[in-house]
Structure 1
Amino acid sequence: MIESALAEDEGRAPRPADLRRIGIDPDFWYPVAQSRSVPPNKVIAASFAGRRMAVFRSASGAVAALEDRCAHRQVPLSMGVVEGETLRCCYHAWAYRGNGRISQIPYLTRETERPPRGVTAYPTRESGGLVFVFPGDPAKAATTPLPSFPQLRSGTHKVMRFSRTVHCHYSFMHENLLDMNHQFLHRGVLGKIRPDLLGYESGPGFVEARYRFTSDGGRKDRGAGLLSAEGIGGRESPDVLTIRTGYPYQTLELVPDGETETAFSLWVAYVPVDAAQRTCHVQGMLMIRKPRFAAALTLAWPFMRRFTERVFAEDRMAVEAEQRAWDEQGEDRNNEIFPLILELREVLRTSGVPIDPAASPCGGAAGSGTACGTVVPS
């Protein structure tokens, strides 16, 4: 039996590496917090792929991200106190500058002893109301582009920010947004709509697809029509969506039929939290074009937010179910047939880095097929 199975596999290309065992490349800028969550003299805990960080804003307004452990007794620095330009550990009051170096140990005299080296500091910058860190090679930070948001600077769009934790590998999130064939999942919110793939392109580090949406039964949720400018501008025509994974981020733009300016655009990043990368933190912005009468958008805002929350909740339910199946089976048994998603998987696979097997709750080689149980809480 084994011999016949081997004979069948002869001449076939080897199975590609299990995408759910591919980690995200750390040599990019990743949002770990919203700027408003780190006011002056405040420190918060953050994480990137198992690396715990203490993110703090000094009295001068500068933001820094340090390894979340005191060099003394390993107590988390995120439990500490910001004093002026330093972060002081809550235990013995060791003080750290934004570069990770120890500036003061209250009971240590410099004449007799030198302080330890301190802790790792991550390059940190802000853009679009988000705090970004560079968890990879710090020498690459200066030459790696930081995401920019010209629509926010122009003042033509209002922004809806969101931050959610989802218990799944980041690749499931990329697949969910790019594959619009799953709209049946949202039938209770959107009614009967038909997504038609107009075409797609792919290349090193990116996949971009264009869809046209037509309605067979009308939208049920008022926020959906308002978001696409139907209720504000009185328009009722097909929507054209452009969705792009430009590694490691993802964007979506809706341009009303016959127009050139977007009705809304989405920017999102999926930041792995744990070392096994079975949980990710979603940081994103929905930028909505302001109508001629600003008051109309203010009135529509609660409906739009309710709509986006309902859609996201349904998507989260689906991708977390996918992750649970992977955890139970110990490998990816998906039978994907959509060429667009096969292209996306190749982009994510070739752009990422292997996850250390020791970090995986399942362990072992990819495709082992051994069940490991559910590894993340629902």
Structure 2
Amino acid sequence: MTETQSPEDATGVGVASGVVGQVERDLRRVGANPDYWYPVALSSQVRRKAAYKAVFGGERIALYRGESGEVFALEDRCAHRQVPLSMGVVEGDTLRCCYHAWAYRGNGRISQIPYLPKGVGRPPRGVRAYPVREAYGMVFVFPGDPAKAAVTALPDLPAYHSPRHRTMTFSRTVRCHYSFLHENLLDMNHQFLHRGVVGKLRPELLGYDTGAAKVEARYLFTHAGGKRNAGAGILSGEGIGGATADVMTIRTEYPYQTLDLVPEKADHPAFSLWAAYVPVDAEQRSCHVFGLLMIEKPRLPGALHLAWPLIRRFTERVFAEDRTAVEAEQAAWDEQGEDRNHEVFPLILDVRAVLRANGVPLAAAAPCGTAACPAP
């Protein structure tokens, strides 16, 4: 797509899917594609020699950190009586069920049934093990085809490791389908929602590009007056350089979303945001938001440390307002049983097409033990 090309025809009928007038499947019934790395916990939550309960799209996952420090991810049920393994006890690098003490290795195989004599009976094979990696202070699992995990890259976030940046981490549950959050961040025309926090912001869409798995939009933001939260000014550079206009680039690159803000007269971002929306329930009407806000340190030593509480308060207020809006959208969908949105913004029509094309039908999200989720 070009900078200004619209995905609508002259009649206003959305054609982002490629067929004019075609009835598109309801995006809120499209599930997140499991063949990607998804954060399911903060690293600090998975303590050494302890188990932790996580979830992806209704699949319960038991995380545990063994004595070696490595994190393992298993289907959260004992093959014996289906008791959650997240209630278990970690011994070395194995996880022992709290009920009958069946022991599991990190690959999901049963290593011991303490009361079963050798050669007597045939124990089950075990439970599903998920590929797992730690990065950026989070634990990522690969819920899809494990054969694809090795060739699927984690997100690349160089600013996270840069000594010039400090990172603020977010972890919140939001009661809505993940697509509402993609739309919320990409459509900056909703700044009226935040008028009490950011004042009067005038967003101007400079242009956007669309690919098979990506939509990238560029906005010019001008502060047109009104009371502005101190944290907002610091983040945009106003508290340092007096900037009044910013260029914001927002990108949905499936399944993640990023935002970079470049202040007026600057040549690099003052801050960058990375976010992942991880479905919680099987119907995916709720998701857990993991976010990393990577903020460039000002030249004045210690200034960012002093401003940190103000920035945290500002971001929490904006997030709370966004959460109220997207949860209201989900509530309307629940009441109506379908998506009755009348979207007119071409950019959002395009991101919906990208999410549909790269997602999976929720009916295809098979429970573990079926052909789509084979036993280890």
TM-score computed with the length of structure 1 as normaliser:
0.90
**1:178 partnered with 2:171:** no
Q: Distance in 2 between matches of 1:118 and 1:310?
A: 45
Q: Which amino acid aligns with 1:246?
A: E
In the other structure, the counterpart of 1:366 is: none
In the other structure, the counterpart of 2:49 is: 41
Q: Distance in 2 between matches of 1:305 and 1:50?
A: 31
**1:57 partnered with 2:65:** yes
Give 1:115 shift.
Answer: 2.7
In the other structure, the counterpart of 2:314 is: 307
> What do residues 330-372 of structure 1 show as CA deviations (whole Å, max 9, x unaligned)?
110000000000010000011111011999xxxxxxxxxxxxx
Q: Which amino acid aligns with 1:61?
A: G
2:269 aligned to which of 219, 238, 262: 262
**1:82-121 counterparts in 2 under 5 A?**
82-121=90-129
Give 1:294 shift.
Answer: 3.0
> What do residues 205-232 of structure 1 show as CA deviations (whole Å, max 9, x unaligned)?
000000111111144211000111221x
Q: Distance in 2 between matches of 1:347 and 1:263?
A: 28
Q: Distance in 1 between matches of 2:128 and 2:365?
A: 22
Q: Tell whether the 8 Å contact from 1:127 to 1:148 is kept in structure 2 after alignment.
A: no
In the other structure, the counterpart of 2:6 is: none
**1:147 partnered with 2:155:** yes
Q: Distance in 2 between matches of 1:125 and 1:48?
A: 15
**1:281 partnered with 2:288:** yes
Give 1:82 shift.
Answer: 1.0
Q: Distance in 2 between matches of 1:72 and 1:294?
A: 57
In the other structure, the counterpart of 1:353 is: 360
In the other structure, the counterpart of 1:17 is: 25
Q: Distance in 2 between matches of 1:144 and 1:205?
A: 14
Give 1:113 shift.
Answer: 3.5
Q: For 2:124, what is the secondary structure of its paired residue? A: coil
Give 1:258 shift.
Answer: 2.2
**1:123 partnered with 2:112:** no
> Cα RMSD (Å) of the superposition?
1.5
In the other structure, the counterpart of 1:316 is: 323
Q: Tell whether the 8 Å contact from 1:128 to 1:148 is kept in structure 2 after alignment.
A: no
Runs of 4+ with deviation above 4 angstroms: none
**1:242 partnered with 2:249:** yes
In the other structure, the counterpart of 1:374 is: none
In the other structure, the counterpart of 2:14 is: none
Q: Tell whether the 8 Å contact from 1:273 to 1:281 is kept in structure 2 after alignment.
A: yes
Q: For 2:302, what is the secondary structure of its paired residue? A: helix
In the other structure, the counterpart of 1:335 is: 342
Instruction: Tell me how many residue pairs correspond in the alignment.
Output: 348
Gap runs ≥5 in structure 1: 1-10, 360-378
Q: Tell whether the 8 Å contact from 1:219 to 1:225 is kept in structure 2 after alignment.
A: no
Give 1:141 shift.
Answer: 0.4
Gap runs ≥5 in structure 2: 1-18, 367-376
Q: For 1:324, what is the secondary structure of its paired residue? A: helix
Q: For 1:25, what is the secondary structure of its paired residue? A: coil
Q: Tell whether the 8 Å contact from 1:127 to 1:147 is kept in structure 2 after alignment.
A: no
Q: Tell whether the 8 Å contact from 2:33 to 2:360 is kept in structure 1 after alignment.
A: yes
Q: Which amino acid aligns with 2:100?
A: H
In the other structure, the counterpart of 1:212 is: 220
Q: Distance in 2 between matches of 1:12 and 1:201?
A: 21
Shift in CA distance, 191/16, structure 1 to aligned 2, threshold 3 Å: same
TM-score computed with the length of structure 2 as normaliser:
0.90
Q: Which amino acid aligns with 2:333?
A: W
Q: Distance in 1 between matches of 2:165 and 2:81?
A: 48
Give 1:260 shift.
Answer: 1.7
Identity %: 68
Shift in CA distance, 313/31, structure 1 to aligned 2, threshold 3 Å: same
Q: Which amino acid aligns with 1:121?
A: A
Structure ranking higher on relative contact order (CA contacts 8 Å, 6+ apart): 2
Q: Distance in 2 between matches of 1:33 and 1:277?
A: 18
Q: Distance in 1 between matches of 2:96 and 2:171?
A: 28
Give 1:111 shift.
Answer: 3.1
1:296 aligned to which of 298, 303, 307: 303
Give 1:112 shift.
Answer: 2.5
Give 1:42 shift.
Answer: 1.5
**1:253 partnered with 2:221:** no
